[in-house]
Structure 1
Amino acid sequence: MQTLAILAAKVSSLLLKCIGRGGSLPGSIALKFDNNILNKLEFTGPVILVTGTNGKTSTANMITDLLANAGYNVISNRKGDNLKAGIVTTLLTHSSLSGRVNATACVLEVDELNIRHILPNIPVTCLIVNNFFRDQLDRAKEMEQLIESIESVLPNYHDDLILNGNDPNVVRLALKAKNAHVYYYGMDKNKYSVASTNEASEGKFCPKCGARLKYDFYQYSHIGQFSCSKCDFKTPNLDVCIEDVDLTKQSFTCDGIYYRQPYMGMYSMYNCAAVLMVAKYLNINSDIVKKVFEHAPQPAGRNESFQKDDKTCILNLVKNPTGANEVMKVIEKDEDDKVICIVLNDREQDGTDVSWIYDTFFEKLMNDHTKRIICTGLRGYDMALRIYYGGYEGEISVEDTIEQAIHSSLNTPYKVYAIATYTALLPTRQTIIKEMNL
């Protein structure tokens, strides 16, 4: 059945490519032939998994480029098919019929809930965890349930664990991974750190004894330097620590070396810290890391800028309060007059529960520089109501379609910021390109 499963994946993938399609269908077909196909594969070299609520795509892609520039033959699910079927598709389409994976390194982005299906079934040499935030409650349930699903497979894990040392929800994984070699990355206190925050909705209590956590400082949300008020649980010593953070120049130092990060925002610097940790772990020199940061591709919809003559439109994906709040901070810093177009959908990939918009500080957009806010999408009226309840005194409007909303936004003398959820992102992007004749 193993050979049939691999053959089925290869043939179905080829047929899909012939009609310009991709996706995880080949993996789903292969799993029908052999549900245990993953633990029958043979690997050579490091096998790295990247998971977490925010930033796993950018982090996994940069690590893929890091290894490729260091001379590895790398395969990865770069397009983000991070569920079990998507990962099976990636591995089988790069395998021989005997089950040997044709690569000297694998980097796989894995959905948090799917770690329990992947980690025990392939020879993972390194698991990287970026962060844990509340996300898509209808699918992922409460964050505690999500973390417990990962913890359940860690007691038998004997290899390397790379964790964000500034996230107590991530650091707690080490308590269950008694047999793993644990490394931590994070960020030092800087001019953007704050002593208190109203953003932190998680990370309030010690996972070891249940007492309240104390913070010396916060970077954003519940990310910062913490310690338990009763036991020894605290921010660990960091193996990689980012210092001298400058969000304007998008720069930082690490071990005395100056780096420019490819993306905006403090949260993106944590992605870079994870890459630096992998480079240290695999003895890859800083020149290669700098090259990766310099040439990192801008993922579609991650602060993606479109320019035509004197018109600028910037597109951002939002999917949960923490990620959305970081987008709000970037927009808030821009003192140009602007129009904001928000596209809110509630399909399965977006999360059918849109109550998260009330945990997002859209109030950061509500200043004199925001001239108008246009809402659309399947839950456009819910979004407009959220803006109204937030106290915005400018013009709020709702358009029936994305096309109408983007047209109205661009048909103004102002810069445009478009904010879209998962299933709205591609249609919004395509509409911007069409409307601006790019």
Structure 2
Amino acid sequence: MSLLSIAAVKLSSSVLKLAGRGGSLPGEIGLKLDPASLKKLKINGPVVLVTGTNGKTSTANLIASVFEASGYEIISNRKGDNLREGITTALLSNASLSGSLGKKALILEVDELNVRHILPNLPVSALVVNNFFRDQLDRAREMEQLIESIESVLGDYCGTLILNGNDPNTYRLSLKAPKAKVVSFGLDENRYSVKSTTEASEGKFCPKCSHPLEYDYYQYSHIGKFHCTHCDFQSPDLDVMLQDVNLDENTFELNSTRFKGPYEGMYSMYNYAALFGVMKEFGLPNDAAIKVFGNAPHPFGRNERFEKKGREVILNLIKNPTGANEVMKVIEREERRKNVVIVLNDREQDGRDVSWIYDTQFEKILNDSTNRIVCTGLRRNDMALRLYYSGFDPKQIHVTDSLQDALHQVFEEDLPIFVVATYTALRESRNIIEKEIAA
């Protein structure tokens, strides 16, 4: 192990922390000094990678917390630095100068395009995959290319794949990993399941024979119970299956035990199912999950809640049609009159192509309970035009070039506020919300 690369990462990480910063720069330095840094680490504990289009931050944080509640010391990139450089920062800054990480559990969120860089270079015990959806085409490329990049490193993988068995795009990974153990998770049919869908979906064709897939039911998008019309590819008999899902109460049943999750939405139920897939694989106790659920903080910008004088403000990240549709469903369930702020940017981290807003069902919130929608951000006019085309009353569509003005407007009215923002607007939105609350 290169002593120089570890020392450089530790020193630069310490300097950045003193400046109130973190991130991937130390890892970038470490990899330049020793490109094989990760492969040379001495690891004696479990290594869990979490990836997928939507929900990987929340899922990875829940898994890390449950390992902690089960008595493990952990190392995790909780702040979401999920590229190779950020993961290198997290690991090398916690390693001894000899490169040892001891018996700590490593719980790492990994960007989908970076799995091919991380999986071959660590002794991965389990790879958890939540889902695959179309996402930021200019960065993540077509979904097929993304999946193939992960499949390319699975041929010799001997650990466990913990896969969403309701997502054909995820479960197909098992076809390319002959040496891996597979644990599948998902949801049983429930009161929210539908027989057909108009949502943007990518799971239309069989990965084995290219014939159409048929669904017994959908949970959302292309997530549901599927089977090929021509060959034997189908949803597996789930190893972990959540039953009696109640999205109003955020509850579900698993193995005759009732659980109440901390987060809203159908997508959160799949995060819980993934968590229990990991717990099943590593023998972690239910009590640990119950403890974590009772104290779980909302991840930054993921259904994050604030309050001012009894009025709720809810902040959510949106970045692709499927994730945004699930956020729209959360807003739709709020029957009280409310205001909505949509912050749409198109910087590199957001994705330059914003055509996905036309595959998002904003119509779900264009009703009498929505008092007004304020559009801001670099592509505010595109967002307002999208709402106008949907028939929303133009008098209820407000456009402003100032995010601060947009939020100040809605704070002046005594109504619940929903703020949805793309990546580069998320932190600024949060900061302004906190200032408005403190005022």
**TM-score, normalization by structure 1:** 0.98
The aligned amino acid for 1:194 is V
- Within a 5 Å distance, the mapping from 1:261-272 to structure 2 comes to 261-272=261-272
Q: Which amino acid aligns with 1:279?
A: M
Equivalences for 1:187-198 in 2 at 5 Å?
187-198=187-198
Q: How does 1:351-370 map to 2 (within 5 A)?
A: 351-370=351-370
Contact 1:75 1:103 in 2 (8 A): no
TM alignment of 1:175-254, pairs within 5 A: 175-254=175-254
Q: Secondary structure at the match of 1:60?
A: helix
Q: Distance in 2 between matches of 1:158 and 1:380?
A: 48
- State the Cα distance separating 1:310 from its structure 2 match: 4.5
What are the Cα deviations for residues 156-202 of structure 1, in whole angstroms up to 9, with x where unaligned? 10111100000000010000001101110110000110000011420
Q: 1: distance between equivalents of 2:352 and 2:103?
A: 38
Instruction: Specify the alignment match of 1:322 in structure 2.
Output: 322
Matched to 1:142, the amino acid is E
User: Is 2:341 the counterpart of 1:341?
Assistant: yes
Per-residue deviation, 1:102? 4.1
Q: Secondary structure at the match of 1:302?
A: coil
SS of the counterpart of 2:120? coil
| Aligned match of 1:130 | 130
Which AA in structure 2 matches 1:340? Answer: V
Q: Is the aligned partner of 1:106 residue 2:102?
A: no
Contact 1:345 1:378 in 2 (8 A): yes
Q: Secondary structure at the match of 2:227?
A: strand
Structure 1: which 4+ aligned runs deviate by more than 6 Å? none
Deviations 1:198-228 (A, max 9, x none): 1142000000000000000000000000000
Per the TM alignment, residue 289 of structure 1 is displaced from its structure 2 partner at its CA by: 1.5
For residues 76 and 30 of structure 2, the distance between their equivalents in structure 1, rounded to whole angstroms, comes to 18
Query: Is the contact made by 1:211 and 1:230 (CA closer than 8 Å) also made in structure 2?
Result: yes
Deviation of 1:146 (Å):
0.3
Distance 2:350 2:77 in 1: 20
| Residues 298 and 305, structure 2, Cα contact 8 Å, conserved in 1 | no
Aligned partners of 2:45, 2:339: CA distance in 1, in Å? 49
Please name the residue that 1:2 is paired with. 2
Unaligned runs of 5+ in 1: none
Mapping of residues 71-150 of structure 1, within 5 Å: 71-150=71-150
Q: Quick check: 1:195–1:216 contact (8 Å CA) kept in 2?
A: yes
Q: Is the 8 A contact 1:94 1:102 kept in 2?
A: no
Query: For 1:368, what is the secondary structure of its paired residue?
Result: coil
Residue type at the aligned position of 2:414: P
Amino acid at match of 1:78: R
Mapped to 2, the partners of 1:88 and 1:416 lie a distance apart of 38
Aligned residues of 2:211 and 2:228 also touching (Cα < 8 A): yes
How far 1:412 moved relative to its partner? 2.1
Residue type of the partner of 1:407? H
Deviations 1:352-394 (A, max 9, x none): 1111111100111110111211100111111111111111125
2:423 is the alignment partner of 1:426? no
RMSD: 1.1
Q: Residue type matched to 1:347 in 2?
A: R
Q: Distance in 1 between matches of 2:255 and 2:314?
A: 34
Q: Report how many aligned residue pairs link the two structures.
A: 438
Give the Cα–Cα distance (whole angstroms) in 1 for the partners of residues 296 and 153 of structure 2. 32
Percent identity for Structure 1 against Structure 2: 60
Q: Aligned to 1:161, what secondary structure does the other structure show?
A: strand
Match of 2:70 in 1: 70
Residue segments in structure 2 that go unaligned for 5+ positions in a row: none
